Chains A and B, each alone.
Chain A
Amino acid sequence: MKVLRLDRVSKDYVTEGSSVPALHDVSLEFRPGEFVALVGRSGCGKSTLLNLAGAMDFPTSGTVWLDDVSTSTLSDSALTRVRREKVGFIFQSFQLLPTLSVIENVELPLMLAGHAQSRAIANERLRWVEMEAYANRMPFQLSGGQMQRVAIARAIANSPSILLADEPTGNLDSATSEVILALLRRSADELGTIVLMATHSLEAIGKADTIVSLHDGRVESVNPTEKVTAKA
């Protein structure tokens, strides 16, 4: 079963009248439980690919398939639903809301989706990232690693099929990064989530099943396994 598929996807950005290509003719397929590292220089298209995969943006050409549904055909409200139900995001700078407590941050996507048992599920997710003891703390009372664990708990709150992580260890030391990467690995293994991680970190690349290397918006290589089929 292919949960996420990119079919000849290109993305151009228009800046001051001229078109700047960010991705060019990219075709990739991912299966549940895959831990994929997107690598390449800054500006090579990693973040663009994550945004397209997370239904946050539309391709200029080609199709992004989420559970065999093209994101380009969906209305705005349907896209919102897709993001709520199928996608979780993790950011380099954690992006916790400073005015909400730890548990409230985790609960947030569940509440936005109108989930009835939001508090119980959020507690369970915090337990899963071993942060239940910090549930009532505010984000500024946490360390960077703790904040990122909370961000992971929030990203998996809705049990998404895809977890998109944009340089999740970029702001962390190596020991803390190790913990975060282990959590992402567990998400793929235990929850069957596709983890798509943009990274420059060698440790992070080492944890991945698949390494997709991008260069100037094109897929340069897909290594090392058959789990990912590169057609570009």
Chain B
Amino acid sequence: MATFTLFYRLILRPLAKERMRTALTVLAVSLGVAAVLAIELAGQAAAGSFRSSLETLTGRSNLEVTSAGGIPPQVFARLATAPYPLKLHARMEDYGVIDGQVRRTVPIIGIDLLSEAVLESAGDAAAPRTSSQLSAGNSVWLTSSLGYKSGDRIRLLTNDTVSDFIVRGVVDNQAGEAIVMDLALATRVLRRGGRLDRVLIEAPATRSIEEWEATLRRYLPAGVTISRQGMQTEENQRMLEAFRWNLSVLSYVSLAVGAFLIYNTISVSVVRRRFEIGILRAVGTSRIAILAAILGEAGCLGALGGVVGVVLGRVLSEGAVKLVASTVASLYFSSRPAPISLTGDAALWGIVMGVGISLVSALGPAWEASRVSPVEAMARGRREYQARVHRLRSACWAIILALIAWIASRQDAIHGKPLYGYLCALLSIAAMALVIPMLVAGLAQITAGLVRRLFGVEALLATRGLVGSLRRTSVLVGALATAIAVLTAVGIMVGSFRETVLVWMQDVLQADLFLSPAVPAGADRHPTLSAEIPGQLARLPEVAAVDTLRAYEINYEGLPTTIGGVDARVRGRRRRQSFLSGAPAEKVFQDLIGNDAVLVSEPFANKHHIRAGDVLKLELGGTLGSFRVLDIFYDYSSERGLILMDRGTLLRYLPAEEPSNVAVYLKPGASLDEAQRAVERVIGGRRVAVTRNGTLRDQAIQVFDRTFAITYVLEALAVFVAVTGVGGALLALVIDRRREFGLLRFLGAADQQVRRIILFEAGLLGVLANIAGVTLGFILSLLLIHVINKQSFGWTIQFHWPVTVLLGALFTVYAATVLSALYPAKIAIGLVPIEVIHEE
């Protein structure tokens, strides 16, 4: 009890007295925790995909059969006649758009309605009971969340066709939105040509899942896969791993900036209490007790920050999930975010994170406090203590860390994760933090005369004030510089990536018009156009050439990817596709024709360690084929990777008559308007989006910008934490230097002069942080572009300075830093000189 009383009097009471500073420190920790938690929750929710919701609709299946391009009907028949008590569920799955007042993209599930129990819950007493009845009048059953009732009519857009359907019943399903129809109808509407997308199997518990898997594999031809149900969700999760991991790391930046600020707060606390600590030591308090008390203070701040952070994280995750889900949908797979769930474990993790980061940050100052000698503390006071910044030693350590960082940057990824890359980033930040005292002191010394001449006495006092509390200044500059470095690094990386994509689009998007089904496509969805469209387009007098792409989802080495069949002859002549080998596009595409050969995209090659000349074994439409990799092409359209072969080759394995996309090249001099009108006449009543070259590029870059929106949010959060911290720290600086400000009033300083001193200090902090941050940011951007991105996603990014964006961001940070000093300046002006000067 006595210990707690002392802890309260010596540690907690002072915290409560300086509410504003305590609140700002807690806020810094809580925002860091919130950022990490929000990204974690959003990542989980975004990955809880549409697939899993479909699975809940189908009951208790434990195995699933899939095949690239669909499962031939005879495979289903073989399984159905296998001598085992299995329950089979055939599935077709796609997306359609309900063409109502509000256009909604909804999953479509084709199932064998006669054998499935789904309709029993539809509560439709007059439910049809024969196959012909089920397909009659385009009958569909909707999940209750769509808001339709039995008897309603809906218009549904699938691929490029609109059809009318009658709602025959409502399925009460927790899984979200879905349209259910009979397999016979789905085969027609979804253009599956009799192939099934999946067969779900309910196997009895008489054997283990692994045994069933092995047994049933014998009934399946090469190219058809059997796996545990949910495997696809796991694959999706694995595919998302790098994306989520990198996003998490970025979210930890706010926490790292918060750590700087905790370190600062505890350092200040130790400095202020040095005399007090000396007395406590003199009256018999042990070193351990001092260490525990200081760590206790940090723990309290951390726990409070953690609790607030958990609440804040839950709130922020609502916004984050939208941004993350949008990226997941455009880059990885069709996903409808699952509800965000903040579990007790996650909340506890948030609090542990807050406490943990605070304790780790406070360890240094707490250790120093525990080493305080009573005599020294009471005799020499805090000035001596503050002066103990070993600039040269720190600079030497900085060089050593920088060297280790450089070595780390040369290492390969570990299990696909750029761990050494991040170690390099961490060491670079640490090296920067160590070199800052020298930077601050050096710059202050070099510019002292100039600053005084240009900006007068206030600037001189501000400069000396910062150098006078070098230890604290360095931590502040370090915190702000870290945030700026990340802002700069990610800004340069994204800007470079954007520029690279723009240049790439200029090369590969040479066609004048692009056609695609009006239903929204996704990274894993490839709706098709009617087969006759390319031929009809080619006959138009304005058209010089038509290029088609038929895309399919396949699984390669446990990861989903896309395979596409293209008209290699047209593509070779028309596209300025660049290859890693540097070979001319026309020759490479020519070599594709008539051969079992493929081209793979750079991300695919990096993900699966493929080189030109390797042979890929691909399961296509129930056949296992071997394909030689001719070359690797630069591609920025898909992170999942892309395999291209000639359309003729693809046709040998899968139906490819109906293209997923069509590119139309016009003859020289042809009017784009007239050509578009002609193309639209060919399309007739089909629902096809015809997009001009420029519009497509704009749309692509919009998707790009949306993809990186979450990174901007995280950067902004880190900067906000840093700026808040600077405000709090300046407030502490004012409180600590109140005697100095009081003295200045005695010496004739006016209000505005005191204000200018504080603002100038903030301004100097901002300048120093900008210098350190931009320098480090540049180094980190090279690391991001050439190491971390390459190891995580496999893209080649050309370096580019996004000058305008960077300058705008840096100016905003700088202005925010200076503005954060307004409140501390107000406090400094409000000090009563007589009181503060007589305190000592």
Q: Given contacts A80-B749, A98-B468, is CB(A112)–CB(B744) below 8 Å?
A: yes
- Inter-chain CA distance A76–B745, complex, in Å, is 11
By the criterion CB–CB under 8 Å, are B464 and A84 in contact?
no
- B747, B753, B834, B838: most-surrounded residue (chain A CB, <10 A): B747
Tell me which of A51, A93, A112 contacts B749 (CB under 8 A).
A112
By the criterion CB–CB under 8 Å, are A83 and B834 in contact?
no
By the criterion CB–CB under 8 Å, are B383 and A98 in contact?
yes
For A85, the chain B residues whose CB sits under 8 A away are 748
A123 is an interface residue with CB less than 8 A from chain B? no
Q: Given contacts A98-B383, A99-B465, is CB(A56)–CB(B834) below 8 Å?
A: yes
A97 is an interface residue with CB less than 8 A from chain B? yes
Considering the complex, give the chain B residue whose CB is closest to the CB of A51: B834
- Inter-chain CA distance A227–B452, complex, in Å, is 45
Which A44-60 residues have a C-beta within 8 angstroms of B?
Answer: 47, 51, 54, 56-57
- A51, A83, A112: most-surrounded residue (chain B CB, <10 A): A112
B491 is an interface residue with CB less than 8 A from chain A? no
- Inter-chain CA distance A109–B749, complex, in Å, is 8
Considering the complex, give the chain B residue whose CB is closest to the CB of A100: B464
A91 is an interface residue with CB less than 8 A from chain B? yes
For B172, the chain A residues whose CB sits under 8 A away are none
For A77, the chain B residues whose CB sits under 8 A away are 750-751
By the criterion CB–CB under 8 Å, are B748 and A112 in contact?
yes
- Inter-chain CA distance A154–B460, complex, in Å, is 17
A-facing mask of B737-779, CB < 8 A → 1, else 0?
0011001111111110100000000000000000000000000
Q: How far is the CB of A86 from chain B (nearest CB, A)?
A: 10
B-facing mask of A61-86, CB < 8 A → 1, else 0?
00000000000000011001101110
Q: Given contacts A112-B748, A112-B749, is CB(A56)–CB(B833) below 8 Å?
A: yes
For B467, the chain A residues whose CB sits under 8 A away are 99
Considering the complex, give the chain B residue whose CB is closest to the CB of A82: B748
For A210, the chain B residues whose CB sits under 8 A away are none
For A97, the chain B residues whose CB sits under 8 A away are 461, 464, 740, 743
Q: How far is the CB of B454 from chain A (nearest CB, A)?
A: 14
Q: How far is the CB of A29 from chain B (nearest CB, A)?
A: 23
By the criterion CB–CB under 8 Å, are B751 and A76 in contact?
yes
B279 is an interface residue with CB less than 8 A from chain A? no
- Inter-chain CA distance A57–B460, complex, in Å, is 28
Q: How far is the CB of B186 from chain A (nearest CB, A)?
A: 79
- Inter-chain CA distance A81–B750, complex, in Å, is 8
A158 is an interface residue with CB less than 8 A from chain B? yes
- Inter-chain CA distance A77–B746, complex, in Å, is 13
A113 is an interface residue with CB less than 8 A from chain B? yes
Q: How far is the CB of A84 from chain B (nearest CB, A)?
A: 3
- Inter-chain CA distance A100–B463, complex, in Å, is 10
Q: Given contacts A93-B840, A99-B464, A111-B456, is CB(A80)–CB(B748) below 8 Å?
A: yes
Tell me which of A47, A51, A100, A158 contacts B748 (CB under 8 A).
A158
By the criterion CB–CB under 8 Å, are A89 and B747 in contact?
yes
By the criterion CB–CB under 8 Å, are A83 and B748 in contact?
yes
B457 is an interface residue with CB less than 8 A from chain A? yes
Considering the complex, give the chain A residue whose CB is closest to the CB of B383: A98
By the criterion CB–CB under 8 Å, are B834 and A112 in contact?
no
- Inter-chain CA distance A99–B837, complex, in Å, is 17
Considering the complex, give the chain B residue whose CB is closest to the CB of A93: B840
- Inter-chain CA distance A72–B544, complex, in Å, is 92
By the criterion CB–CB under 8 Å, are B383 and A140 in contact?
yes
- Inter-chain CA distance A30–B743, complex, in Å, is 25
A4 is an interface residue with CB less than 8 A from chain B? no
For B753, the chain A residues whose CB sits under 8 A away are 112
A-facing mask of B441-472, CB < 8 A → 1, else 0?
00000000000000011001100110110000
By the criterion CB–CB under 8 Å, are B837 and A95 in contact?
yes
- Inter-chain CA distance A96–B229, complex, in Å, is 78
Considering the complex, give the chain B residue whose CB is closest to the CB of A83: B748
For A153, the chain B residues whose CB sits under 8 A away are none
- A54, A85, A108: most-surrounded residue (chain B CB, <10 A): A108
For A95, the chain B residues whose CB sits under 8 A away are 739, 743, 746, 837
B-facing mask of A93-107, CB < 8 A → 1, else 0?
101011110001000
For A108, the chain B residues whose CB sits under 8 A away are 457, 744, 747
A-facing mask of B361-391, CB < 8 A → 1, else 0?
0000000000000000000000100000000
For B464, the chain A residues whose CB sits under 8 A away are 97, 99-100
By the criterion CB–CB under 8 Å, are A84 and B748 in contact?
yes
- Inter-chain CA distance A76–B467, complex, in Å, is 31
Q: How far is the CB of A147 from chain B (nearest CB, A)?
A: 13
Q: Given contacts A95-B743, A99-B467, A104-B460, is CB(A109)–CB(B834) below 8 Å?
A: no
- B739, B746, B837, B840: most-surrounded residue (chain A CB, <10 A): B746
- Inter-chain CA distance A83–B742, complex, in Å, is 13
By the criterion CB–CB under 8 Å, are B747 and A154 in contact?
yes
Tell me which of A84, A91, A140 contacts B837 (CB under 8 A).
A91
For B744, the chain A residues whose CB sits under 8 A away are 108, 112
A-facing mask of B632-644, CB < 8 A → 1, else 0?
0000000000000
By the criterion CB–CB under 8 Å, are B457 and A99 in contact?
no
For B833, the chain A residues whose CB sits under 8 A away are 56
Considering the complex, give the chain B residue whose CB is closest to the CB of A160: B748
Tell me which of A56, A93, A98, A104 contacts B746 (CB under 8 A).
A56
- Inter-chain CA distance A51–B467, complex, in Å, is 32
Considering the complex, give the chain A residue whose CB is closest to the CB of B384: A140
Q: How far is the CB of B800 from chain A (nearest CB, A)?
A: 43
Considering the complex, give the chain A residue whose CB is closest to the CB of B750: A80
- Inter-chain CA distance A81–B748, complex, in Å, is 7
- Inter-chain CA distance A111–B833, complex, in Å, is 19
Q: How far is the CB of B389 from chain A (nearest CB, A)?
A: 14
A-facing mask of B712-750, CB < 8 A → 1, else 0?
000000000000000000000000000110011111111
- Inter-chain CA distance A100–B833, complex, in Å, is 20
For B749, the chain A residues whose CB sits under 8 A away are 80, 112
Which A193-212 residues have a C-beta within 8 angstroms of B?
Answer: none
For A51, the chain B residues whose CB sits under 8 A away are 834
B-facing mask of A140-172, CB < 8 A → 1, else 0?
100000000000001000100000000000000
For B837, the chain A residues whose CB sits under 8 A away are 91, 95
- Inter-chain CA distance A81–B753, complex, in Å, is 13
- Inter-chain CA distance A64–B833, complex, in Å, is 19
Q: How far is the CB of A17 from chain B (nearest CB, A)?
A: 18
Q: How far is the CB of A114 from chain B (nearest CB, A)?
A: 8
- Inter-chain CA distance A83–B746, complex, in Å, is 7
Considering the complex, give the chain B residue whose CB is closest to the CB of A104: B460
- Inter-chain CA distance A80–B751, complex, in Å, is 9
By the criterion CB–CB under 8 Å, are A89 and B746 in contact?
yes
By the criterion CB–CB under 8 Å, are B751 and A113 in contact?
no
- Inter-chain CA distance A43–B751, complex, in Å, is 30
For A47, the chain B residues whose CB sits under 8 A away are 834, 838
A-facing mask of B89-104, CB < 8 A → 1, else 0?
0000000000000000
- Inter-chain CA distance A108–B757, complex, in Å, is 13
For B745, the chain A residues whose CB sits under 8 A away are 56, 80, 83
- Inter-chain CA distance A113–B456, complex, in Å, is 11
- Inter-chain CA distance A158–B464, complex, in Å, is 23
Q: How far is the CB of A115 from chain B (nearest CB, A)?
A: 10
Q: How far is the CB of A217 from chain B (nearest CB, A)?
A: 16
By the criterion CB–CB under 8 Å, are A112 and B740 in contact?
no
By the criterion CB–CB under 8 Å, are A57 and B834 in contact?
yes
Q: How far is the CB of A77 from chain B (nearest CB, A)?
A: 6
A-facing mask of B797-838, CB < 8 A → 1, else 0?
000000000000000000000000000000000000110011
- Inter-chain CA distance A168–B745, complex, in Å, is 19
By the criterion CB–CB under 8 Å, are B468 and A99 in contact?
yes
* 23 pairs, CB–CB < 8 Å, chain A vs chain B: A47-B834, A77-B751, A80-B745, A80-B748, A80-B749, A80-B751, A83-B746, A84-B747, A95-B746, A95-B837, A97-B464, A98-B383, A99-B464, A99-B468, A100-B461, A104-B460, A108-B744, A108-B747, A109-B748, A112-B457, A112-B744, A112-B753, A113-B748
**What 5 additional pairs, Cβ within 8 angstroms, besides A83-B746, A95-B739?**
A54-B746, A77-B750, A80-B748, A108-B744, A113-B748
The 5 A-B residue pairs whose C-beta atoms are closest, nearest first, are A84-B748, A111-B457, A99-B468, A99-B464, A109-B747
